[in-house]
Structure 1
Amino acid sequence: MHSMLSKAIQTYFDTSEIVTWKQVYGGDINESFYIRTASGSYFIKIQAAPPPRFFHSEKSGLDTIRLTKTISVPNVFHVYEDGEIGCLILEWISGKKTEQAAEKLGNLLALMHNHTGEKFGFANNGYIGKLPQPNQWLDSWIDYYRTCRLQPQIRLAEEKGLLPLSIFKKLNKLMQELEQWIPEKPKASLLHGDLWSGNWMAGENGEPYLIDPSVFYGHDEFELAFTELFGGFPAGFYHAYQEVNPLSKDYEDRKELYQLFYLLVHLNLFGKSYVNAVERIVNRYV
């Protein structure tokens, strides 16, 4: 492994010798490593036979966020995919999360959400976890949420036999009634797209960084709803966010409808332990 990592770095941008390296644990998709050379420190993600353009999609998302000049993202030094193996070489981020960093994240996320597009969607297809995330440009947020987010996950759950027929019938009914709760044309904010507590970090100076994005332009409430689903964000994060970008009074009415997408993703990734949560939300709206 040492020789492979050394070759990956030396071939593309850093010819100095590796001083130390270690495997970094925590993800369930890639093998990850910390590498320190005489010139700098790097984070390398490696995946055998990744889906097509998996790491290119991640780089595209990081680059898109970087262009907003709001929240920091790690520098991307190199991306490589040949069908048999893929790797992404990033800047190493080594700080510690604090309440202050989380508050700053909330403030900067709101500023990022103020970077808007004319339509909903994104130019490239992407991934959430290892699941494909289709994208296209649509004028209606309802149409985008239905066709590019809910429908693919519902279809996959059906193919895998993960939900009873009664829930599928209610999901299909819900898909035709989204306009009761979701606005058709909110501002089309740039979203990270997969913002749980494990997808942000802090640098040595306390500066927040976003990682592992699945970006697209959508309703900002969709992002905030996911941050609440599994917790991990302190109250100061939400307070700082709303000082810049106050949430609508109707947010609580549709929050779980946005969380439904992420529960379907987890159902498809991790199995039937998420069935009850999906059913509870479906029964609330149907």
Structure 2
Amino acid sequence: MNYDGAEGLEFGGGNTKVDPSVLSELPKGCQVISTEGHGVSFWANTGRIDVELADGTPQKFFIKVISKEQGKHMMHGEFESMKTIHTLMPDFAPKPVAWGTYKSIPNTHFFLCDYKEMIDEMPDPHKFASRLAALHQNSKSPNGKFGFHITTYSGNLPQMNEWEDSWEVYFAKCLRKALDLELEAKGDDPEFHVLVPIIFEKVIPRLLRPLETEGRSIKPTLVHGDLWYANSGIDVDSDESLIFDACCFYAHNEYEFGQWRPVCNKFGAEYLAAYHSYVQISAPEEDYDGRLDLYKLRFNTHVSALFIENETLREQMLGDMRDLVKRYG
């Protein structure tokens, strides 16, 4: 966990104190009525702030608090990600309010957004897919390239977000970054020396180059970046699906579904089928399953790097590599 604590400013237990930097981002003239711990995060402390506006109207905010310089970059990346999604589709994500650093504890940083009461159920496949398709289709890279304007973090590890014209080049750099982090976390493995060169020299060109050759092209699309089922919910008030905890960049839209391949994710085949009723599969269609398995490798590599003690995650990643090399290497 990237959180060292904030004495006197913990959420809950009757405490109504918030840091001056947070208070300055709340509506002017409001009064903090209560704070409560809310939600679960592997990396941060999360809570809810209930306020009464100057006119007596109640309002609630969600806050995420984290420590150290790395935490500062994480909060900035999440704010920029959520702001980009909310600007494009304001009814698909809670409105981000601010990010910043505690005035009273300069090593502590926060992300603040509107609070949404959500039910812990899976959304209707077509309702969810139509919103995700709209996000993908209506987004536009500011410079026509793949990447993002700042580094975003999946968990507490950075992603490669530097701008690239080619999706093949961008994805290869993205996967290389994840592999470097995984090797740093868990050390070398003899199989890497055989499998990794084939992944980069054979598999990636075989599966991604056809997307951008022979007259084909793909649009850099805004992706959530970590869209597993726990980063989605259903708004109690509107009964509509929401997404949160994003680590965005502009990618091939199908990249989003690498996260849907592992069996632990509840966005199963019916969600993919619903999505592709709105957005057609990229050509060449016959490479679709292979592309998604390659994208899954990127997610599983990053997850293995995140959870250092879990050796099963490395074996899962190596299994992905073996399978891709066997099929395309």
TM-score after normalising by structure 2: 0.79
Superposition map of 1:238-253 within 5 A: 238-248=272-282, 249=285, 250-253=287-290
One-letter amino acid matched to 2:43:
I
1:47 corresponds to: 66
1:64 aligned residue (70, 78, 84): 84
Unaligned runs of 5+ in 2: 1-9, 53-57
**Does 2:191 correspond to 1:166?**
yes
Change (3 A) 1:70 1:179: farther
**Does 2:163 correspond to 1:137?**
yes
Q: Deviations over 1:4-51 (max 9, x none)?
A: 426454333234333332212421111001221223011111112141
> Which one scores higher on RCO, CA 8 angstroms, separation ≥ 6?
1
Return 273-282 or 18-27, whichever deviates more. 18-27
Give the conservation status (yes or no) of the 8 Å contact 2:122–2:233: no
Matched residues in 2 for 1:179 and 1:57: separation?
30
1:220 aligned residue (248, 253, 256): 253
What secondary structure, in the 3-state scheme, does the structure 1 residue paired with 2:158 have? strand
Q: Deviations over 1:43-88 (max 9, x none)?
A: 1111121414321211111111123237521112221136501011
Matched residues in 2 for 1:275 and 1:99: separation?
28
Return 230-239 or 206-215, whichever deviates more. 230-239
What secondary structure, in the 3-state scheme, does the structure 1 residue paired with 2:119 have? coil
Give the conservation status (yes or no) of the 8 Å contact 1:35–1:44: yes
**Does 2:223 correspond to 1:203?**
no
Return 1-10 or 155-164, whichever deviates more. 1-10
1:231 offset after TM fit, Å?
A: 1.8
Matched residues in 2 for 1:110 and 1:195: separation?
13
Change (3 A) 1:71 1:113: farther
What secondary structure, in the 3-state scheme, does the structure 1 residue paired with 2:24 have? helix
1:106 aligned residue (117, 122, 129): 129
Matched residues in 1 for 2:200 and 2:313: separation?
20
**Does 2:324 correspond to 1:285?**
yes
Give the conservation status (yes or no) of the 8 Å contact 2:221–2:252: yes
One-letter amino acid matched to 1:221:
E
Matched residues in 2 for 1:193 and 1:155: separation?
19
What secondary structure, in the 3-state scheme, does the structure 2 residue paired with 1:18 have? strand
Give the conservation status (yes or no) of the 8 Å contact 1:6–1:18: no
**Does 2:296 correspond to 1:259?**
yes
> Could you tell me the percent identity over the aligned residues?
21
2:112 corresponds to: 89
Return 178-187 or 137-146, whichever deviates more. 178-187
Change (3 A) 1:142 1:89: same
Matched residues in 1 for 2:17 and 2:187: separation?
39
Matched residues in 2 for 1:58 and 1:245: separation?
27
One-letter amino acid matched to 2:129:
G
1:273 offset after TM fit, Å?
A: 2.0
Return 134-143 or 99-108, whichever deviates more. 99-108
1:104 offset after TM fit, Å?
A: 1.6
Matched residues in 2 for 1:36 and 1:251: separation?
46
Return 62-71 or 123-132, whichever deviates more. 62-71
**Does 2:301 correspond to 1:275?**
no
What secondary structure, in the 3-state scheme, does the structure 2 residue paired with 1:5 have? coil
Q: Which of the pair has more CA radius of gyration?
A: 2
Q: How many residues align?
A: 285
Matched residues in 1 for 2:91 and 2:223: separation?
12
Matched residues in 2 for 1:10 and 1:161: separation?
41
Give the conservation status (yes or no) of the 8 Å contact 2:133–2:275: yes
1:246 offset after TM fit, Å?
A: 2.4
Change (3 A) 1:236 1:98: farther
TM-score after normalising by structure 1: 0.90
Give the conservation status (yes or no) of the 8 Å contact 2:145–2:164: yes
What secondary structure, in the 3-state scheme, does the structure 1 residue paired with 2:300 have? helix
1:97 offset after TM fit, Å?
A: 4.9
Change (3 A) 1:150 1:71: farther
Return 260-269 or 88-97, whichever deviates more. 88-97
1:21 aligned residue (1, 10, 35): 35
